[in-house]
Structure 1
Amino acid sequence: MPRFIALDVFRGMTICFMIIVNTPGNSETTLAPLLHANWHGFTPTDLVFPSFLFAVGNAMAFVMPNWADKPAGWVMQKIWKRTAIIFLLGFLMYWFPFVKWDGQSFSAFPLSETRIFGVLQRIALCYGIAATMIYFLRPRSTYILGGLFLFLYWALLYWLGNSADPLGLQGNAVLWLDKCLIGEKHMYHGEGIAFDPEGLLSTLPAIANVIAGFWAGDLVRKKGKSWESLALLLLAGSLLLFIAYCWNGLFPVNKKLWTSSYVMLTTGLDCIILAAIIYVLDFRKYTSWSEFFTVFGKNPLFIYLLSEIIAILLWFFKTSESVPYYRRLYEIVFSRFGGYLGSLLFACSIMMVCWLVGWIMDRKKWYVRV
């Protein structure tokens, strides 16, 4: 089956934007659209991660028909091997470079302080669970179960959370469960307290993002790049946005809690964006711009890991004045363009370095698969 170019472009746009929002030159002068919402609410940046999950589901729709004649044991081994590898890569990325540097000597970075859940870990778990469901269940049953996950998660947050503030930063059930299972030292501390926005409980509604992506990909695979496909994608997207708007009043859109209304909002937007890409590429035949993004889309996992490793190493190594090279590079080169523009140009520069590596790999037909 030929490649679904619109998916490569969609996935590539997601990775491109993900690198830009993850590597600002100066976090204090980052443009507002490139920041996550503080808590309840939504920004363009909040669309990036769920879009990658949506793309994972898209890809599954084109891969799974090839497994129809394979033994179930073979399929399960393939799914859960891939799940384990992606999860392990995410864990090792947070542990990397495995040592601490105090300016004078190295010391081992303790495993007991390494973050367990995270971006790749969530992708792995959502892929593994969704792929297993899609393989064993009929599509309709999978879609219904995905919807039930959203209602179940809504109930669990109120049932297990602090009754005084079940949707607050310190009273939510996501925080409570992670503390019980893995402890604070293994959690993300970027919110000022131990709280993981990719916690175990909030993975439950994120599975629905993958399932929605599978539905969209399966629609295009079966009906082709037709006007009917576009109409159904746009209709589904509009309906999901309407549901998100209505649900927001009872269960606010919140990326860090990955609320059910947030799933509705992001999957709705993703359906519309995918339809727009298909329209531009396959109906209007405007394709000259797409190669830039397909470079990212053909090696998404490798390029994402490369961007994170570059950022980690730039923060890890320091000048003789104990200033991270990440900050020094921004101050010497990019701050000349002003705080906000300089911060953006720094992020775009890292993105372009990753793109160049991806372009070379694409020319040599090197594609990293797990």
Structure 2
Amino acid sequence: MQRGEWRHRHRRRPLQRHEERGGRRLRARAVGSPAVSARIKAPRYLSLDVLRGLTVALMIVVNTPGDWNHAYAQLLHAAWNGFTLTDWVFPTFLFAVGNALAFVLPGYAAKGRGAVLARIGKRSGLIFLLGFLLYWFPFMSPLSETRIPGVLQRIGLCFGLASLLLYFWGQRGGLWFCVAALLGYWALMTGYGDYTLAGNAGRQLDLWLLGEHHLYRGEGIAFDPEGLLGTLPATVNVIAGYFAGHLLVTRGHGRDTLVRLLAAGSVCIVLALCWNGVFPINKKLWTSSYVLLTVGLDLWLLSLLVWLIEVRGIRRGTYFFEVLGKNTLFIYLLSELAVILLQRLTVGGKDGYSWLYATLFQGWGSPQASSLLFAVAFMLMCWTVGWLMDRRGIYVKV
């Protein structure tokens, strides 16, 4: 967030916001104006750090069970249609990216258009590149067989698209994009295929543009749950996070803000459940009903965290998640790289990952409990690295 005073410029800014006057009348003002700048310099919300940290903690836990064959159902993705706790994690990460945009975008108004485009492009491209290199690591497989789409790749693309939309079109344009993306995606998925694994339009587009050797094969055939077409509805999760963050920045964390968050979340969930009948909730297809459901749940969760932390002042236990929330991207990358390295080691006739689980955790309670215990321990190992970084004031930003 920009600390200095932004100069007011007379030309019209691409990004605008609404300033309340007299409690009733709203009029558009350029973000770069001094009056708005004073409003934008809001304090850091601990609840947003906790939301990011909670999301990363869950992401690591669901990605690192000791035994994939013995994991609790809620810690696995739904087989196809349906919804589990695990299906909620990734869209919440995108929602948190949008929260951060609410603090970053106002500062863009004081920069030239070229500088803004360069900054957005650099960050989006770097996140995408890190994701691609992660899948290529340890750089022994041919590039012709390396997966191109992925988790970080989708984050990079969604961040870039959402940032550009909000910068040039403002909030109204962002809202219209959300409506068009959700309805348009439904139309494309219905008109150019079906909702099956083999026949969906997203898979057909990825096969045409990228080829089967660059796609995920964990479903038995070449199909990528982070494919290109699904980037459109996934961007809605980021923009929704921006709207929620912007509400906190401009209106504070009072009762009115919490009511708005809860009401918007309720509307999204009801619409999702109604839409589910014709466009099923499906994480792997990132359906429009899935977007609305996850946005609604995220709005509920955010309102709960704001109420507990900002309103009630409850801080006990928040530092644990704050540590993860301060180095989100680095800790996620660390967890993925650690798994890759362990799986390439051979210990006692097993890969290092399986050996650790069998030696230290297997047999502690039921198979599901042992598998979960390993995942929690793995997450705590990553947290320890984050804690050491926080103690030394090391924060890796992209």
TM-score tier (shorter)? over 0.9
Q: Does 1:336 pair with 2:377?
A: no
Partner residue, 2:324: 296
2:146 & 2:372 partners in 1: Cα distance? 29
After TM superposition, the structure 1 = structure 2 runs for residues 78-227 of structure 1, keeping only pairs within 5 Å, are: 78-99=119-140, 109-161=141-193, 166-227=194-255
Q: Give 1:336 deviation, angstroms.
A: 2.0
2:234 & 2:343 partners in 1: Cα distance? 30
Partner residue, 2:343: 315
Q: Bigger relative contact order, structure 1 or 2, given CA contacts below 8 A and separation 6+?
A: 1
Q: Give 1:141 deviation, angstroms.
A: 1.7
Partner residue, 1:30: 71
Partner residue, 1:13: 54
Q: Give 1:243 deviation, angstroms.
A: 0.4
The residue type paired with residue 180 of structure 1 is W
TM-score w.r.t. length of structure 2: 0.88
C-alpha contact 2:183 2:288 (8 A) present in aligned 1: yes
TM-score w.r.t. length of structure 1: 0.95
Greater CA drift, 115-124 or 61-70: 61-70
1:63 & 1:128 partners in 2: Cα distance? 13
SS in 2 for 1:293: helix
Root-mean-square deviation (CA, aligned residues, Å) is 0.8
1:137 & 1:317 partners in 2: Cα distance? 50
C-alpha contact 2:348 2:355 (8 A) present in aligned 1: no
Can you list the C-alpha shifts for 1:56-113, whole angstroms capped at 9, x where unaligned? 00000011112211101101100010001000000000011112xxxxxxxxx11111
The residue type paired with residue 77 of structure 2 is H
2:240 & 2:270 partners in 1: Cα distance? 16
The residue type paired with residue 22 of structure 1 is N
2:79 & 2:283 partners in 1: Cα distance? 9
1:314 & 1:149 partners in 2: Cα distance? 40
Equivalent residue for 2:108, pick from 36, 59, 67: 67
Can you list the C-alpha shifts for 1:7-52, whole angstroms capped at 9, x where unaligned? 1000100000000000000000001110000000000110000000
Q: Give 1:318 deviation, angstroms.
A: 1.3
The residue type paired with residue 265 of structure 1 is L
SS in 2 for 1:3: coil
Partner residue, 1:41: 82
SS in 2 for 1:94: helix
1:331 & 1:86 partners in 2: Cα distance? 34
Q: Give 1:138 deviation, angstroms.
A: 2.2
The residue type paired with residue 300 of structure 2 is I
The residue type paired with residue 202 of structure 2 is V
Aligned length: 356
Can you list the C-alpha shifts for 1:297-353, whole angstroms capped at 9, x where unaligned? 0000000000000111111111252x1111111111110213111100111111001
The residue type paired with residue 279 of structure 2 is F
Partner residue, 2:36: none
Q: Does 1:369 pair with 2:397?
A: yes
The residue type paired with residue 293 of structure 1 is F
2:173 & 2:343 partners in 1: Cα distance? 47
SS in 2 for 1:273: helix
1:5 & 1:202 partners in 2: Cα distance? 31
1:228 & 1:304 partners in 2: Cα distance? 35
Q: Give 1:158 deviation, angstroms.
A: 1.6
Higher helix share: 1
The residue type paired with residue 267 of structure 2 is L
Gaps of 5+ in 1: 100-108
The residue type paired with residue 60 of structure 2 is I
SS in 1 for 2:166: helix
2:109 & 2:202 partners in 1: Cα distance? 37
Q: Does 1:324 pair with 2:332?
A: no
1:168 & 1:213 partners in 2: Cα distance? 29
SS in 2 for 1:332: helix
1:348 & 1:60 partners in 2: Cα distance? 30
Q: Does 1:271 pair with 2:312?
A: no
Gaps of 5+ in 2: 1-40
Q: Give 1:204 deviation, angstroms.
A: 0.9
SS in 2 for 1:335: coil
1:170 & 1:316 partners in 2: Cα distance? 31
SS in 2 for 1:189: coil
